[in-house]
Amino acid sequence: MSDKKLALVTGASRGIGLAIAQRLSADGYRVIGTATSESGVEALRSTLKTSEKSNEAVVLNIADSEQTEAALKELQSQFGTPDVVVNNAGITRDNLFLRLNEGDWNDVLNTNLTGVFRVCKALSKAMLKNKAGSIINISSIIGTTGNAGQANYAAAKAGLEGFTRSLAQEIASRNITVNCVAPGFIQTDMTDVLPETQKEAILATIPGKRFGRVEDIAGAVAFLASDDARYITGQTIHVNGGMNMG
Ligand code: NAP
């Protein structure tokens, strides 16, 4: 078994999660990244150079309670208990409230909020035994500001921040920190689908005058995972170019 610290990053097949996995690997962690499909896992294995760097990639669907429990049990028996857990996986199902159906409400809450609960539930006992660790949840600026067309997503991310503060209080005495990073507008598949006019309108609200890059989020996560952040818990670090300073 490797003597590197072990970091689990959910939703590492692309976007922000991939950048986090690559940054933590560069920082010397052994990284286990997850994707929802076998083909995603194969692609991730080659991106993370798993054989050369002792990283790994596994299938994980946090929307599925049984699969999550089984996959994380197997992960722990194969690789040990993660020192760092980055709950990054997330989805959107945007619609104005009058058109938002219960299916899209439930899908977003089930993945973005209950999915994080499932991952923490499956790993927390072993992490508590280790008396060390960092849990970093990827929230969103929308959890603070709200956004027309994203009532489900805003509710899930605001809930995630409340969950983070509560769990942080429960496990701080075991030397485990729990924090959020809340990205603003970051260029990924999730935001590429937005119409150009909407993107331009958003850009006009960013004092930094550029959209965020995935590396901007990875840097904040790497800090929260590091020894420099051991006395920071229950916090949300906003990384948004000044889009919201509240
Ligand atoms: P993305 O490019 O759409 O990637 C989403 C990732 O989540 C993929 O790796 C995907 O896996 C995974 N995923 C989706 N459903 C999953 C499930 N049920 N179980 C496990 N993994 C699942 O998204 P992103 O923009 O990088 O966003 C990453 C996180 O940042 C999300 O939590 C998002 O809410 C948050 N965020 C993003 C922005 C932004 O501007 N992009 C802003 C604020 C917050 P597959 O590839 O296998 O589908």
User: What confidence score (pLDDT) does residue 1 get?
Assistant: 57
User: pLDDT per residue over 92-104, tens digit each?
Assistant: 999 999 999 999 9
Owning domain of residue 39: 6-233
Q: What is the mean pLDDT of residues 55-71?
A: 98
Q: Provide the pLDDT for residue 196.
A: 95
Residue 180 located in a structural domain: yes
158: which residues sit within 8 A by CB, 6+ positions away?
143, 144
Which secondary structure element, helix H or strand E, spans residue 66, and what is its range? helix 65-79
Separation of alpha carbons 13 and 45, rounded Å: 9
pLDDT tens per residue across span 160-218: 999 999 999 999 999 999 999 999 999 999 999 999 999 999 999 999 999 999 999 99
Q: What is the mean pLDDT of residues 58-75?
A: 98
pLDDT above 90 (res 125) = yes
Distances (CA, A) of 101 to 93, 97, 105, 148, 158: 10, 8, 6, 15, 20
For the stretch 155-159, contacts whose Cβ atoms lie closer than 8 Å and that sit 24 or more positions apart, written own/partner, are 155/108, 155/109, 156/90, 156/108, 156/109, 156/111, 156/112, 156/113, 157/112, 157/182, 159/109, 159/113
Active site residue 231: no
CATH of the domain at 167: 3.40.50.720
- Say how many CA atoms lie within 13 Å of 175 toward its Cβ: 9
pLDDT band at residue 242 under the 50/70/90 scheme = very high
In this predicted structure, the answer to whether residue 50 has a pLDDT above a threshold of 90 is no
Residue 246 is predicted with a pLDDT of 78
Give backbone dihedrals phi and psi of 91, rounded to 5 degrees, phi first.
-135, 165
Q: Quote the CA–CA distance of 199 and 182 in Å, as a whole number.
A: 19
pLDDT digits (tens, 9 = 90+) for 69-92: 999 999 999 999 999 999 999 999
In a domain, 244, yes or no: no
Mutate to test the pocket of ligand 1, among 16, 94, 106, 238 (most ligand atoms within 8 A of CB): 16
Q: Is the pLDDT of residue 228 over 70?
A: yes
Split into its structural domains, the chain has a count of: 1
Q: Is residue 28 part of a domain?
A: yes
CA–CA separation, 188 and 165 (whole Å): 27
Domain for residue 20, yes or no? yes
Residues 6+ apart with CB under 8 A from 140: 90, 153, 154, 157, 182, 183
Q: How far apart are CA 24 and CA 53, in angstroms?
A: 12
Measuring from atom 39 of ligand 1, which residue has the nearest CA?
Answer: 186
Position 209 scores a pLDDT of 95
**Domain-located, residue 184:** yes
Among 34, 48, 67, 88, which is best to mutate for testing ligand 1, by the most ligand atoms less than 8 A from CB?
88
* Beta carbons of 72 and 34 less than 8 angstroms apart: no
> What average pLDDT does the structure give for the chain?
97
Residue 58 lies in a domain: yes
Of the pLDDT bands very low, low, confident and very high (cuts 50, 70, 90), residue 230 is very high
- Please write down the long-range contacts of 194-200, taking CB distance under 8 Å and 24 or more positions apart: none
pLDDT of residue 2: 72
Residue 211 within a domain: yes
Catalytic one among 105, 117, 153, 163? 153
Is the residue at 65 inside a domain? yes
Q: How far is the CA of 189 from the centre of ligand 1 (A)?
A: 8
